[in-house]
Amino acid sequence: MILEKSYQIGSVVQMKKQHPCGNNEWQITRVGADIKIKCLQCQRSVMLQRIEFNKKLKKVLSFGEEA
């Protein structure tokens, strides 16, 4: 059984590696086959495949609101 990490649009997550700006906290802005995350310090956006995102995710800091 594969254990899926729970996150949704608006969730704040911590990644394993830091962004070049020095921050490792991101907000999820799009969820689908790809996941789009935005750096909370410099506001840059990155789009990752879901599998790659799940490998790089360290933990979910706060859950977003469900639409």
CATH code for position 40: 2.30.30
CA 20/CA 50 separation, integer angstroms: 22
Task: Give the pLDDT score at 63.
Answer: 83
Contact between residue 41 and residue 26 where contact means Cβ atoms under 8 Å apart = no
Structural tokens at position 5: 């990490």
Q: Would 25 be classed as within a structural domain?
A: yes
Q: Would 38 be classed as within a structural domain?
A: yes
- pTM beyond cutoff 0.85: no
Q: Would 53 be classed as within a structural domain?
A: yes
Give how far Cα 34 sits from Cα of 1, 20, 21, 22, 49, Å: 22, 22, 23, 24, 4
Examine the pLDDT at 40 and tell me if it is beyond 50. yes
Q: What is the DSSP letter of 17?
A: S
The structural domain count of the chain equals 1
Domain that holds residue 44: 13-62
Q: Would 43 be classed as within a structural domain?
A: yes
